[in-house]
Amino acid sequence: MRLPDNFKSGFNRKSTAEDVTEGVDLSGKTVLITGAAGGLGQESMRVLALRGAHIIGLDRSKESVEAAGAGLSKGQLTAYGCDLADPDSIVACTDAIAKKFKVIDVVLTNAGIMAPPETIVSGKYSEPLEIQFAVNFLGHYVLINRLMPLIKAAPSARLAIVASEGYVTAPKKVGIALDDLDSQKRGYDALETYGHSKLAVMLMNLELARRFDGTSITANSIHPGVIRTNLASDSTDFKVKLISMFAGPWTRTIGQGAATHCFVAVHPSLDGVNGMHFADSNPKQPKGHALDQELAGRLWDKARELAADYVKPDNLFGT
């Protein structure tokens, strides 16, 4: 189901995560959040726990999630360490989750990295990968695949896929460079490879939504906006630093940045809504390669090939 063209949520870029979840009761719901130890993930965890959810919080260390959730006033937190650059870590984490939980109602794929110094993930998947592609896209692909039995067990599950309108900086001609996923042929450009990874995330949402059509699971993507977090704190790229320097008038607070996260994850107006993109807690039409269903299918097939040792083909997600 898609929302009508004239849909207005009643929220805007100044709305906070608390605003968009006011009156929402998440008692009895289990919400998994990646990147829960700081920034938008931590704020989403705080607010969704405030509404009564049991949070499964993932970050590179269990201890960092526990520290981030130490002040939760309501709800419950179960923390796990999960390095999304390492599929063995994802396997260990998802196996541990499956031993403790039977159902996951919401998956919020918040974790991500932006424009780091050039780093190649090698010896993990079937070919070397640029780290932003490995973390932002493929790590979440594997995570969702392995959690699919718990997602399918929910009466009506939601995948809230955190993308970015930075996808427009992906390679203009091909969108996804399926023959150059380590960026060695075209050369490393921090901002372009960030856009490349986020376009992959947008296409993952497109393909998930197609596969979930007619089921009780929905997938929608999210643009959080420009927020001053530590997302690109280790970037040495001149363009990224320049953007950060002059982004002041367009930046949001952490609470405002997490609003669309929480809106897409739990707001009742999106019950049954599938395959849409949201910014400022309202629908926004993607453009260019982000609408290419054929490219989404080819990326999906490539992801299955890359992660063949880690995904479970018998899950709905992996068929």
- Residue 27 has what pLDDT? 97
Q: What confidence tens digit (pLDDT) does each residue in 100-156 have?
A: 999 999 999 999 998 888 999 999 999 999 999 999 999 999 999 999 999 999 999
**Cα–Cα distance measured from residue 133 to residue 195, given in angstroms and rounded to the nearest whole number:** 9
Q: What confidence tens digit (pLDDT) does each residue in 161-216 have?
A: 999 989 999 999 999 999 999 999 989 998 899 999 999 999 999 999 999 999 99
**Cα–Cα distance measured from residue 269 to residue 40, given in angstroms and rounded to the nearest whole number:** 22
Higher pLDDT, 319 or 99: 99
Write down all domains in the chain, each with its CATH number in brackets: 26-318 (3.40.50.720)
Q: Is 10 helix (H, G, I), strand (E, B) or coil?
A: coil
Catalytic residue among 125, 141, 167, 188: 188
Q: With 0.85 as the threshold, say if the pTM is over it.
A: yes
How many residues can be counted in the chain? 319
188 tagged catalytic: yes
- Read off the pLDDT of each residue in 67-90 and give the average, rounded to a whole number: 95
Q: CA quadruple 133, 44, 240, 292: dihedral positive or negative?
A: positive
Average pLDDT over the chain reads 91
- Read off the pLDDT of each residue in 252-274 and give the average, rounded to a whole number: 96
- Residue 316 has what pLDDT? 60
Higher pLDDT, 250 or 133: 133
- Residue 237 has what pLDDT? 46
Q: Token digits for 224?
A: 């959080």
